[in-house]
A and B are shown apart, each in its own frame.
Chain A
Amino acid sequence: DSGVTQTPKHLITATGQRVTLRCSPRSGDLSVYWYQQSLDQGLQFLIQYYNGEERAKGNILERFSAQQFPDLHSELNLSSLELGDSALYFCASSVPGGYGYTFGSGTRLTVV
């Protein structure tokens, strides 16, 4: 157990639907990062939050959004889902000013 908790582990949904992925960072970590891993694109950075505020954006689609709550857990919202959104979605967390990134076990999203 890495200390970063992601739920659910698996999600199957239909095209056009909306889903929410949840991440609880490791205790003491203020930053949360979301990544998407697909077969053709590899592991891509989506977005980072630090202590509730958006800090950096990567290759995140407009249909996707995220937030980090006061208790530091984060949610990634994916809407108007398409078949191509099927992927593993990872959350990672890090300590302030530190150089370690701890990854969760991921959520496997399948859009049918």
Chain B
Amino acid sequence: SQELEQSPQSLIVQEGKNLTINCTSSKTLYGLYWYKQKYGEGLIFLMMLQKGGEEKSHEKITAKLDEKKQQSSLHITASQPSHAGIYLCGADEPYTGRRALTFGSGTRLQVQP
């Protein structure tokens, strides 16, 4: 089954700084999802990427999938305290018949005012 490695595991940044979170797969990614989770709460969908080289943005968050479809990055511009939380990447394997998501271990982001 697919394995996803996220880096860094945790991140502390000053408000206003940019940051990048990476997600690397052991296999080709057919669907890569980014979620945000506030501590102890549910997962909030951010973005989904499918095509090699694809890039999507929402507000100050940009996600990219590399051409080889084995690595994705999540970039936050001018971070704010509201960006704090755990960022999770998840991937499904539709061509194996398994539609459930496999998740990375998450990146804990703290934004200091």
Chain A interface residues (CB < 8 Å from chain B): 2, 31, 33, 42-43, 45, 48, 55-56, 58, 88, 90, 92, 94, 99-106, 108
**Interface residues on chain B, number (Cβ under 8 Å):** 24
Contacts of B104 in A (CB 8 A): 42
B33 and A106 form a contact (CB under 8 A):
no
CB of A76, distance to nearest CB on chain B (Å): 14
| A106-B41 contact, Cβ under 8 Å, with A42-B106, A99-B48, A101-B33 | yes
Complex Cα distance, B98 from A104, in Å, reads: 20
Given contacts A42-B103, A102-B45, 15 further A-B contacts (CB under 8 A): A2-B44, A33-B100, A42-B106, A43-B88, A43-B90, A43-B103, A45-B102, A94-B99, A99-B31, A99-B48, A99-B92, A101-B45, A103-B44, A106-B41, A106-B42
Q: Name the B residues within 8 Å of A90 (CB-CB).
A: 42-43
Q: Tell me, yes or no, whether B40 is within 8 Å of chain A by CB.
A: yes
Q: Could you list some 5 contacts between A and B, CB below 8 A?
A: A33-B100, A56-B100, A58-B100, A90-B43, A92-B101
Tell me, rounded to whole Å, the shortest Cβ–Cβ distance linking A35 to chain B.
8
Main secondary structure of the interface of A (DSSP, over half): strand
Out of A48, A99, A103, A108, which one reaches B100, CB within 8 Å? A48
CB distance from A54 to the nearest CB of B (A): 12
Which residues of B lie under 8 Å from residue A58 when comparing CB positions? 100
Measured between alpha carbons, how far is A88 from B98 in the docked complex, in Å?
23
Cα A99 to Cα B105 in complex, Å, equals 21
For residues 24 through 59 of chain B, which have their beta carbon under 8 Å from a beta carbon of chain A? 31, 33, 35, 40-45, 48, 50
Docked pose: A41 CA to B102 CA in angstroms: 12
Asked whether B48 lies within 8 Å of A100 as measured between CB atoms, the reply is: yes
- Tell me the complex Cα distance, A100–B47, Å: 10
